[in-house]
Structure 1
Amino acid sequence: MSSDLSGAVGAAFLAEGPADGVDLSLFGQFAGSWALDCTEYDPDGSSTVRRGEWHFGYALGGRATTDVWILPGVEHGVSVRFPDPSAGAGIWRSTWVGPTRRRTHTFLASRVGDEIVLDGGDLRWTFSDIGSDEFRWRNEARQPDGVWRLQQTFQVWRRS
């Protein structure tokens, strides 16, 4: 792709902020660049820690948020999220794409107490301990017996 075209795609996709009258604060609070430590938990109890980065912003004419997380050598994933009042008050739709591992996941997201929970049926992602300069994120999968197994955690801190 030529640099002119990639710049045009970025300019068409990204937005400076929310569109007038669109409340994107649930995920918009994360706008900016973050560093992270990702811990991946294997079923045998072993774990691996990797350093990564996460970038949040606004997209699609200011009607959605987007983010890209990068674990070098593992995955570059992108999410697009938007509020959907037709799904219920405070409900967001979220789609994540991870091309390296060839995965896509869809979720309904909402605030639950002090957390943001993304429910994907047998997959649950949770933002917790949310502060202005740091937060935690976890990825859990429902096992055949109905028990949730922790797959990943991110400790995340703001870079800009």
Structure 2
Amino acid sequence: MTIRSSVGAAFQADGPAEGVDLRLFGQFAGSWWLDCTDHDPDGSTTTRRGEWHFGYALGGLATTDVWILPGVEHGVSVRFPDPAAGAGVWRSTWVGPGKRRVHTFLAAQVGDGIVLDGGDLRWTFSDIATDTFRWRNEARQPDGDWRLQQTFQVWRQT
């Protein structure tokens, strides 16, 4: 057995493990720039530049990503397919230590996008192309309507 030299080396994987289909989120592997726009309830917005890095993890059984909004938050997700939850369904957990938040989701492809359902929180990847995509964060309101909280316009770093 080989002992890894760091937590990063132990966590990261070079790609999917044999026989594991990680294409749903694996398609984003690499480094991306993002413009994050926060949408306040009063209709005002604030936009900040950040970065998002995707890859494989945990022996190639999962994907992971880290997004960074300097001075605001660092967040990490671990995602993996879970056939027991349904065909094409993934489990996803996001941790944001700056704001002390943890969110869990079930994720699946819906049309040309990916929807992560966390009950009262919904994250959506859309307009997915080789070098760009959009992401949005919506929260369910007490009346059942969804309120847009945040959007990312994302493009691949070259």
TM-score range, shorter chain: over 0.9
Shift of 1:7: 5.0
1:11 is paired with a residue whose SS is helix
Number of residue pairs matched?
Answer: 155
Q: Which residue number in structure 1 is paired with residue 9 of structure 2?
A: 11
Q: Which residue number in structure 2 is paired with residue 147 of structure 1?
A: 145
1:151 is paired with a residue whose SS is strand
Query: Matched residues in 1 for 2:144 and 2:59: separation?
Result: 40
Q: Unaligned stretches of 5+ in structure 2?
A: none
Q: Which residue number in structure 1 is paired with residue 116 of structure 2?
A: 118
Relative to structure 1, the CA distance from residue 37 to residue 123 in structure 2 (aligned partners, 3 Å threshold; closer, same or farther) is same
Query: Matched residues in 1 for 2:17 and 2:6: separation?
Result: 20
Runs of 4+ with >3 A deviation: none
Shift of 1:8: 1.3
Shift of 1:118: 0.1
Correspondence 1:67 to 2:70: no
Q: Could you tell me which of 89, 92, 105 is aligned with 2:90?
A: 92
Q: Which residue number in structure 2 is paired with residue 58 of structure 1?
A: 56
Q: Which residue number in structure 2 is paired with residue 105 of structure 1?
A: 103
Q: Could you tell me which of 48, 60, 64 is aligned with 2:46?
A: 48
Q: Unaligned stretches of 5+ in structure 1?
A: 1-5
1:141 is paired with a residue whose SS is strand
Shift of 1:38: 0.3
1:12 is paired with a residue whose SS is helix
TM-score normalised according to structure 2 size: 0.97
Which one-letter code corresponds to 1:42 in the other structure?
Answer: D
Q: Which residue number in structure 1 is paired with residue 35 of structure 2?
A: 37
Which one-letter code corresponds to 2:155 in the other structure?
Answer: W
Query: Matched residues in 2 for 1:136 and 1:55: separation?
Result: 15
2:109 is paired with a residue whose SS is strand
TM-score normalised according to structure 1 size: 0.95
Query: Matched residues in 2 for 1:58 and 1:7: separation?
Result: 18
2:6 is paired with a residue whose SS is helix
Q: Which residue number in structure 1 is paired with residue 154 of structure 2?
A: 156
Which one-letter code corresponds to 1:11 in the other structure?
Answer: A
What do the CA deviations read for 1:20-71 (whole angstroms, capped 9, x no partner)?
A: 0000000000000000000001111111000000000000000000000000
